[in-house]
Amino acid sequence: MSRALVFVGAFNPVTRAHVETADYARRELGFDQVIFVPSKQDYIRHDQEKDYAFSDDLRLHLLHKTAAGRPWMKVSDYELNLDHQPRTYQTLQALKEESGQDLRLLFGSDKLPELQHGWKHVPEICREFGIAVMSRNGDDTAAIIRNDPYLSSLEPWLTVVNVPAIYQHISSSRIRQALADGNPETAAEYLPEELHELIPVMQKMETEK
């Protein structure tokens, strides 16, 4: 059976770090694909309280353009097509039914503190799918899990991937700031090469927000 990691997030916009660390985790864990699942714009702006979110259509287009030359990278618009932002467990169930693949959730270590009080159906996600956790910002992720009573109870279903530190400084917010500051060169450094031609479009949207 084909195996895929499911990477759910804002991708506002998708960065080199998103793409390259996901591929690194895929290869380290021996998975076939990574499915990128962008969240709804309303959820990003209102629930996550981000200062700005590119439209659903643009973020989806950027992901598809990035994935075009990467056979291992897939994109799902499942969450964007709903009239509400689903819980991650619902997304995983739907993707499994649709694809027939063996799935595992993928996210960064910065999400670990949110699991106990900010997420629903965490035990079900762990038991039915498992979670691959990418270490970020120099986190000793194994120690964070081991020293937290709640996270340590989930440890059998958590797999830590220590991604290269060279990606720690790359983020979507830094790209948006570079665009707002009129610094497309910095934005280009952080974006996948396939998206460089769309920098003027993103810069126009960022400065007009």
Q: What is the pLDDT of residue 138?
A: 80
pLDDT in tens, the chain (209 residues): 899 999 999 999 999 999 999 999 999 999 999 999 999 998 888 777 677 889 999 999 999 999 999 999 999 999 999 999 999 999 999 999 999 999 999 999 999 999 999 999 999 999 999 999 999 878 899 999 999 999 999 999 999 999 998 898 899 999 999 999 999 999 999 999 999 999 999 998 888 77
Q: How far apart are the first and last CA of the chain?
A: 45
Q: How far apart are CA 209 and CA 169, in angstroms?
A: 25
Exposure string of 50-81, with b = 16+ CB inside 10 Å and e = fewer, is: beebbebebbbbbbebbbeeeeebbbbebbbe
Q: Is residue 203 situated within a structural domain? A: no
Q: Is residue 67 situated within a structural domain? A: yes
- Domain around 25: 3-169
Are the beta carbons of 16 and 191 closer than 8 angstroms?
yes
**pTM attached to this predicted model:** 0.96
Q: What is the pLDDT of residue 148?
A: 97
Provide the number of structural domains found in the chain. 1
Bridge partner residues of 161 (DSSP): 134
CATH number of the domain enclosing 157: 3.40.50.620
Q: Is residue 187 situated within a structural domain? A: no
Q: What is the pLDDT of residue 54?
A: 92
